[in-house]
């Protein structure tokens, strides 16, 4: 009986470790200038195996609509809007995908996404200019 329990425990350890090293879950996005929480964004694994993120809650009313967007997104609700997509494993994190920042209406290339404790550091680049945003894990 003890051997069976030990075997089950040994099988569970890699799954637990893998879950802790995954970006999957809900994250608080933080405004660069004010430091206030803007949205709750969910990172998930897409059907094609890449990772993506979508806004699931607008904590700050200013983040509820895409006022600075152009085209079909202009004035639309940000809830359900994809903000990261096509992220693939690379260099101990994820990257190589695309991103969109509703507060500015800007699209960007995702250089890297790194999990650092309970924070997700997303570095995005537009042309040769790069910025890093830090998201905090939401409970």
Residue 17 has pLDDT above 70, yes or no: no
Residue 32: the pLDDT is: 81
9 falls within a domain = no
Report how many domains make up the chain.
1
- Residue-wise pLDDT for 33-88, tens only, equals 888 999 999 999 999 999 999 999 999 998 999 999 999 999 999 999 999 999 99
Whole domain around residue 118: which residue ranges? 24-137
66 falls within a domain = yes
In the chain, what is the greatest distance between 2 CA atoms, to the nearest angstrom? 63
Q: What is the pTM of this model?
A: 0.83
32 falls within a domain = yes
CATH of the domain at 56: 2.40.128.520
15 falls within a domain = no
7 falls within a domain = no
131 falls within a domain = yes
- Residue-wise pLDDT for 77-105, tens only, equals 999 999 999 999 998 999 999 999 999 99
Q: How far apart are CA 116 and CA 86, in angstroms?
A: 21
């Amino acid at each position: 009986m003890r051997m069976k329990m030990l075997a089950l425990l040994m099988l569970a350890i890699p799954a637990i470790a893998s879950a802790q090293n995954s970006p999957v879950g809900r994250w608080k996005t933080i405004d660069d200038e004010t430091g206030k929480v803007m949205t709750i964004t969910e990172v998930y694994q897409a059907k094609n195996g890449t990772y993506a993120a979508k806004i699931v809650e607008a904590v700050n009313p200013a983040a509820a609509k895409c006022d600075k967007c152009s085209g079909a997104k202009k004035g639309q609700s940000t809830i359900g809007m994809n903000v990261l997509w096509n992220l693939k494993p690379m260099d101990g994190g994820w990257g190589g995908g695309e991103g969109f920042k509703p507060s500015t209406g800007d699209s960007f290339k995702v250089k890297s996404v790194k999990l650092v404790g309970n924070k997700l550091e997303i570095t995005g680049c537009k042309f040769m200019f790069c910025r890093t945003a830090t998201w905090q894990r939401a409970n």
